[in-house]
Structure 1
Amino acid sequence: MVPFEQLLAWSVKIAIGFVLLMTTVAYLSLIERRLLAFIQMRYGPNRVGPFGLFQPIADGLKFIFKEDVIPLDADKFLYVMAPALSLVPALMTFVLIPVGGEVTVPFLDRPITLYVTSINVGLLAVLAMTGMGVYGIVMAGYASNNKYSLLGGLRSSAQLVSYELAMSLSIIGVLIQAGSLDLVTIVERQGGAWGLGWHVFWFQPIGFFVFLISMIAETNRAPFDLPEAESELVAGFHTEYSSMKFAMFFIAEYANMVTAAAMATTLFLGGWQGPGVAQIPWLGPVYFVLKMALFLFLYVWLRASSPRLRYDQLMNFGWKFLLPLALVNVVLSATLGLWF
């Protein structure tokens, strides 16, 4: 039986993580709009509160009070289930992602770990949960009984299957070097070279490149945002959604962005590792957040500057370039693993 103190610690960590994740998602939408406005030389949202800081609250209230419309010919059960199936796995993944190592809190008599739990197949669990999101998108496309939604759902399923394969292969080099599927262990193995023994610097630049491109495609972001291409499909798989159901898809997309950035940081950029972490453990979460912010800025920058690919270009790039490159990286990683 699990001790009460352990259950309490898990509950507190989950609650804090959920609040921080939802706050990050809310303000990530504001930061994206402000950065896009800056890049396009215009003003972003800056009227609701000082510097527009209350804009996410206004957006949330708007979603809550909007009318919830369900199309007459929709499959109502699947239509209602689809947003939940997209959102829940997106939020669950952060249970396994380590934000920091072991730190000391002044008012507690023992050190605490800055992650909810650690399991020996943590990476497989995260990949399984992130792969569940495509079912919600396909379900939404089918259940809406709308041709644009159906096309968006079909595009998304083909895209995610194609790029999931390259992304999974790009991680194998990391597993060969780390020798573990536990995310905490993977981060700890990158602590050498004064906290700069990150995989991207040591034998995994190709894997990092493949993972980076694949994670952008997996989250349906520009220039790979074909499932919700406004110029062709109105809004794609969520054309028929409104009110909080649309907001759930919206939250799931941004939560997946945060998860993808956290996974890239954990696997290739050393997670919380960095100079001085051994002496000052609280530097770890700071490094982790800064590395994640770099990836999230890249998402926005690509959206502001990259044209959308044609669908045939998208599929050719995934199958004819990224997949062979990921296989080459597996062979190189295995060879280096034998030598070193």
Structure 2
Amino acid sequence: MTDDKKQEFYKALLEKDSAYEGLFFVGVKSTGVFCRPTCPARKPKFENCEFYNTAEEALLASFRPCRRCSPLSHPNQVSELVQTLVQAVEENPEKKWREKDFRELAVDESTARRQFKKRFGMTFVQYARARRMGIAMKEIRAGKPMIDAQLSTGYESGSGFRDAFSRIMGDAPASAKDNQILKASWIDTRLGPMIAIADEDALLLLEFVDRRGLEKEVEVLRSKTRSAIIPGKTRPIESIERELDLYFKGELTEFHTPVRLIGTPFQLKVWDKLKQIPAGETRSYTDIACEIGKPTAVRAVARANGSNQLALIIPCHRVILSDGSTGGYAGGSARKKWLLELESKRHYQNQ
């Protein structure tokens, strides 16, 4: 490993940069432990750091896993408390949670609120309510009378049902049949967590959770599709979860999960060209502009490239600058380099 790479990794360690999750591990000679880049522990001096590409390398160098950042598990892995509560909701999704319910599970209510907020961007009560409303939405769309959906999800008051529905779904029940439901799910990967959003037929969004502007992307998707977005899984989400696991193991280079692209005709043309770039190869923005018959539209191509909402599937990371440098990437330039190296290795292995 070069000195420049070590300095780059050390800077990421000091800044706890999540874009470097999975790219390296650091062994701390003064303590004998190895950590992930985002470890909250006090940072070691540079001269006490040894950097490794994999956890296995750190283990073989006699370092033991840090107890604070658990480098042998996925970053942001679901805690046992979150798993327990999610399972409890699935066992009785219509349940209205109260203080005594938390006591029966020996769970601290404030801890549950904090962990769910960190993990899902909503409190546990909001999560449980969203799940109940998801059931109500399904019943309404199936033609079931609103009063039945209201009562089956535990709302005795019609106005309370409508208010809760509007807060979560962004729409009133009376017009719900005209809207669709999208499910959002968290997927842990080698390079950090990703969020997947899909309906029952196709994947609409796949992004790294720490991507800049993700919240706006989700809101634009909600607006363009006139959809409500709730926690959950669909077949496309389960499919991409399996494919991502194979991709990061270097066992898959093309994704087959059905997707739905939402963009302008120009964006769709650019994204189609991106999908045609084989794994292990790259193109420049100029190359793409020429291929779509718009050689002077290099900047427009770059904007379309950055507007892609299906990371990895639409491989915008395979587009580099004309001088051969990697250029920017919404998921972080370090991730982009790692992805290109992964695909390059796989490409040469297959030749």
What TM-score do the two structures reach when normalised by structure 1? 0.23
Higher strand proportion: 2
Q: Could you say which structure has the higher helix fraction? A: 1
